[in-house]
Amino acid sequence: AAGVIQSPRHLIKEKRETATLKCYPIPRHDTVYWYQQGPGQDPQFLISFYEKMQSDKGSIPDRFSAQQFSDYHSELNMSSLELGDSALYFCASSSGAEDTEAFFGQGTRLTVV
Amino acid sequence: AQTVTQSQPEMSVQEAETVTLSCTYDTSESNYYLFWYKQPPSRQMILVIRQEAYKQQNATENRFSVNFQKAAKSFSLKISDSQLGDTAMYFCAFMTPPWGRALVFGKGTRLSVIA
């Protein structure tokens, strides 16, 4: 079965640079979530989208922005990167219409040096 | 605000034995979902089991079952016949509908299955 696809899998950036993370949800899923997981921590919710509109917002820094496109894929844009942004970034998708829970992608490991 | 508490940072169990992971939550909502996710060393987040609050029957998925006590706001996970592949971090998570709302995670329990 198709899963959530995230790209890239690994990313190394320098401080103050920008990064763009991409997420392709499971086909027919209309909802996308972004989470940040630091080393040894639980996942922290950043933001979610339902049918291309922002659905819920968590502890997303103002330096980050995200959107969901017409084909339901989503991108997380991160600017003015800081060392503390180094983490595993998960995307998850679900279907409100089909009442399915959130399935997670394999994550993008971002390292800021 | 909803909170999820996992009071056991680490646990270990012998292969083929049974282990129970604890989770409590706090909410004023009456309708919600509860989940257990597994995160093995690969760090992939894998859904183990799901429970709807309106269902009185405890969810079961093969060797995994839950004990859902709504009044006590408790949601424990029982793993029977533990296998080495069950070694992972286990996160309890909570969500209120509709889909699109944030999943709130506990801090996790690191489970080691010993041969």
DSSP characters for chain A?
Answer: ----EEE-SEEEE-TT--EEEEEEPPTT--EEEEEEE-TTS--EEEEEEETTEEEEE-S--TTEEEEE-TTS-EEEEE-S--GGG-EEEEEEEEETTTTEEEEE---EEEEE-
CATH number at residue B67: 2.60.40.10
Arithmetic mean of pLDDT, A71-100: 92
Q: What are the CA-CA distances from residue B113 to residues A42, B16, B110 (Å)?
A: 21, 9, 10
Task: Please indicate whether, in this complex, the C-beta atoms of B100 and A107 are within 8 angstroms of each other.
Answer: no
Who's near B31: CB < 8 A, 6+ residues apart?
A: B53, B54, B96, B97
Task: Please indicate whether, in this complex, the C-beta atoms of A58 and B46 are within 8 angstroms of each other.
Answer: no
Percent of chain B at pLDDT exceeding 90: 82
CATH number at residue A57: 2.60.40.10
DSSP reduced 3-state for B83: coil
Collect all residues of chain B within an 8 Å Cβ-Cβ radius of residue A31. Answer: 99-100
Domain that holds residue B26: 3-114
Domain count, chain B: 1
Domain count, chain A: 1
Mutate to test the interface with A, among B2, B32, B103 (most CBs of A within 10 A): B103
pLDDT reported for residue B99: 76
Is the separation of the CB atoms in B34 and B22 below 8 Å? no
Q: Tokens standing for B56?
A: 């009185």
**List of chain B residues with pLDDT < 50:** none
pLDDT(A20) > 80: yes
Question: How much of chain B is helix, strand and coil, in % rounded to 5?
Answer: 5, 50, 45
pLDDT(A1) > 70: no
pLDDT reported for residue A81: 98
pLDDT reported for residue A101: 81
Is the separation of the CB atoms in A105 and A90 below 8 Å? yes
Who's near B107: CB < 8 A, 6+ residues apart?
A: A41, A42, B5, B6, B9
pLDDT(A64) > 90: yes
pLDDT(A96) > 80: no
pLDDT reported for residue B48: 96
Domain that holds residue A95: 5-112
Of the pLDDT bands very low, low, confident and very high (cuts 50, 70, 90), residue A6 is very high
The more confidently predicted of residues A24 and B42 is A24
Closest to B100 (Cβ–Cβ): which among A42, A55, A103? A55
Collect all residues of chain A within an 8 Å Cβ-Cβ radius of residue B49. Answer: none
Of the pLDDT bands very low, low, confident and very high (cuts 50, 70, 90), residue A78 is very high
